[in-house]
Amino acid sequence: MKKLALICLCGLVAASIMTGCGASQTEGKENLGTVELSEYKGVKVNVPAVMVTDAEVESKINQVLSQNPKIEEVDRPAAEGDIVNIDYVGKQDGVEFAGGTGEGQDLTLGSGRMIDGFEDGLIGTKKGDKKELNLTFPEDYSEKALAGQDVVFEVTVNAVKEKQSAVLDDAFVQSVSDFKTVDEYRASVKEDLLKQKQQSADLQIQQ
């Protein structure tokens, strides 16, 4: 009887194990239906034809003209926006300080390149003028030895120049490109714009 009971018990355990294995193998395999793939090869994309208008070409050329103004020397007092060519010597207590001198330097008045008062002090000067500028370096100046210190700049004005609107001619084309004539330059601008638009269109197709 004991042997028979033991055999029955083993049989029940085996059945239980088989049932568990069967459940674990089928779990997560529910029927979720089917999916049909739409066409993904040879998809047609409608992209407008790439073209560049004359107005776009002229706009680009005008941008280049504005970025490359003509610089002409003038015989009049310097005004804000003008370029002055200067020599200058900076002194502290009568002694020149390091980094405070320059020769033949072009400075656009109003650019904020120099410390406060320097550029404003040269407005109204003419070619050949010499001027002393009594100024004070800002407290947060990067050179600690000069921060907050009073100095004198002795300035000589070598020339006064003004920025004039550039003119699209062969000379201008040769100054900003490797081309010789306006027609060649205009054609190159159109070609460059066309390439840019084509690249943008190709990217749109890929997307």
Segments forming the whole domain that contains residue 90: 72-163
Question: So what's the pLDDT on residue 68?
Answer: 95
Phi, psi of 80 (to 5 degrees): -60, 135
Tell me the average pLDDT of the chain.
87
CA distance linking residue 100 with residue 199, whole number of Å: 50
**For residue 59, is it within any domain?**
yes
Q: Yes or no: say if 186 and 168 are a contact pair by the CB < 8 Å rule.
A: no
Question: So what's the pLDDT on residue 113?
Answer: 94
Question: So what's the pLDDT on residue 157?
Answer: 98
For residue range 14-66, what is the model confidence (pLDDT) as tens digits? Answer: 555 555 555 445 555 677 778 777 766 766 767 678 899 999 999 999 999 99
Mean pLDDT of 73-82: 96
- Closest by Cα among 177, 158, 161, 160 to 169: 177
* β partners of residue 72: 162
Residues 80 and 124 in one domain: yes
Which CATH number belongs to the domain containing residue 131 in this structure? 3.10.50.40
Question: So what's the pLDDT on residue 165?
Answer: 93
Residues 76 and 63 in one domain: no
Measured between its terminal Cα atoms, the distance across the chain in Å is 78
**Full-model pTM:** 0.63
For residue range 146-201, what is the model confidence (pLDDT) as tens digits? Answer: 999 999 999 999 999 999 999 999 999 999 999 999 999 999 999 999 999 999 88
**For residue 76, is it within any domain?**
yes
> Which runs of E-coded beta strand occur in the chain?
70-73, 83-92, 95-108, 130-136, 150-164
CA distance linking residue 171 with residue 130, whole number of Å: 35
Question: So what's the pLDDT on residue 9?
Answer: 52
